Structure 1
Amino acid sequence: MKNGSIDTALRLQLPWPSDLQIIPAGPFLRFFALLIDHVVMFFAFIVLSLVAVFASIPLDVETAKGFIVFLYLVAIFIIYNGYFFLSEWLMKGQTPGKMVCGLRVLQLDGSEADIWALLIRNLLRPGDMFPYLAGAWVFYVPTYLLAGVTSVVVPHFRRLGDLAAGTVVVYDRSPLLNLRRRTAAIVPASATKIYSLRRVDPTLYEAVARFMARRDSISQARREEIAGSCYDDLKRIFAWTGPDPTPEELIERIHHFRMQGG
């Protein structure tokens, strides 16, 4: 088992001793995910504004003005306060931006973030958005300067909302940017069979899937380091026929075993 840390990795908490890790996402990729989310929010705001305009057509001018202003304020409140929470809740820790960039919100122990953790991290988002640039009327543009500074200073790139909720944003599978990785689990028909020696916790398969999804984006030396760090753990859980595979081959076969319904 190798010593030393891999990037800013966090050890995955499993029911047995393990060196499996999750990799926190850096601020730059998170910025692009945030940018995508704000583009989506902008178009959502445009749609709601058009709905308000068309809904006010049957009304007289004065009533229509008040109605449009009311719906405008409601749209701002819903989009800025509900978009991130609802997305992360319904998409299991992802927003459209995070999904495109291959990111996901998890608990620090590697488990799925629950609704309360997602609620807490997003209730503090207005603070992470500070300071704001003044815009037209009640519309202000968030700079996320505080979140940027915090994510650089705090370990594992966590902003204030993450600190309060006990969450972290990690690298995950990106179905839109990494389509070629869908073939990563293909194993030759001649490969040896693999068997589980005990009930396997789903978080282990999830960790294996994350490794398979990300392995094409990291160097061979780093892949060998990650795979080698958990090789002994996996040998206690799985058995196979034929010659021993390399650490990376073992992870690939476990992933294939899972995809085949093992």
Structure 2
Amino acid sequence: MAYIKIPTAFNIDLEFEAADSGKRLFAYLIDNVVRVAYILLTYWLIIVFIRNEVTQIVLILLVVGLPMTLYFFLTEWLMAGQSPGKLAMGIKVVSLLGNQPSVGQIMLRSLLRIIETPAVFWAVVPLIAIARSPYSQRLGDLVAGTIVVNTKAKHSIQDTIFRDMSQMDYQPQFYQILKLSDKDLNKVKELLDRAAKQHDLVLAARVAERVKTVLKIETNMSDMQFLETLLNDYNYLVTRA
């Protein structure tokens, strides 16, 4: 089984197990079963309960055609990188940073299915791309900057100081945090997690006081809130540098 190492902005490699072609193919087949079941059910309901032919056509286009055209985009967006098939097979889409893909990335990889799934090329184009890609990416993944991995990462992103700030309208408060190294921040994160787990306010106070002294920061925040804010500030500033 191939493993994918994703370098983060904090000099720590996250290791993910790449989803193999078999799992991806079965996930795709499951998704098509879901799609066919949805089409048959909604089509039957429209034909049975709607008598006006024009209304039937409109509803078939809007209630059946549109959701099925946008199936992969909608499911992967609403299910944080998964579709029903991917969920069943224990795989998901992540960005090359290891976090949840953005709406734009999901849209791009969904649009590329248009040239990947015509009947004459069914499964051939994506399988060739996956086989030739070092990260087992199909064409849509290559363009969108995404990969498909097993849902259980060998090392969790939560084990690092990484926080996904991409979807937040965030305003950093302590720019001095950039004076600390990744190693320093990882130690702060480790001590903060320990203090939170053990409800050790004394430890949190000691860490916060030390950081305030080194960075010459004055604040009225609680110690725990201050340390959390520091980590969020660091993530926001580093990932936008």
Tell me the TM-score normalized by structure 1: 0.56
CA contact (8 A) 2:105 2:146 kept: yes
What is the correspondence of 1:92-171 to structure 2 with a 5 Å cutoff? 92-132=80-120, 143-171=122-150
* Equivalent of 1:20 in 14, 17, 37: 14
CA contact (8 A) 1:107 1:166 kept: yes
Question: Which portions of structure 1, spanning 4 or more consecutive aligned residues, are displaced by more than 4 angstroms?
Answer: 73-76, 236-240, 259-262
* CA deviation string 1:23-54 (max 9, x = no partner): 22111100111111111111110122023203
CA contact (8 A) 1:104 1:172 kept: yes
* CA deviation string 1:219-253 (max 9, x = no partner): xxxxxxxxxxxxxx9xx74879xxxxxxxxxxxxx
Q: Deviation of residue 162 (structure 1)?
A: 0.7
CA contact (8 A) 2:10 2:161 kept: no
Q: Deviation of residue 202 (structure 1)?
A: 4.5
CA contact (8 A) 2:42 2:64 kept: no
Where 1:104 maps in the other structure, the secondary structure is strand
Is 2:179 the counterpart of 1:200?
no
* Other-structure match for 1:210: none
Q: How well do the aligned residues superpose, as a CA RMSD in angstroms?
A: 3.3
> What code does the residue aligned with 2:145 have?
G
Shift in alpha-carbon separation, 1:239–1:56, aligned structure 2, 3 A: closer
Shift in alpha-carbon separation, 1:18–1:116, aligned structure 2, 3 A: same
Corresponding pairs, count: 172
Q: Report the identity percentage.
A: 26
CA contact (8 A) 1:52 1:67 kept: no
Q: Which of the two has greater helix per residue?
A: 2
For 2:70 and 2:114, the matched residues in 1 are separated by 12
CA contact (8 A) 2:14 2:98 kept: no
For 1:111 and 1:13, the matched residues in 2 are separated by 12
Q: Which runs of 5+ in 1 are unaligned?
A: 1-6, 133-141, 174-195, 204-232, 241-253
* CA deviation string 1:190-239 (max 9, x = no partner): xxxxxx9xx83347xxxxxxxxxxxxxxxxxxxxxxxxxxxxx9xx7487
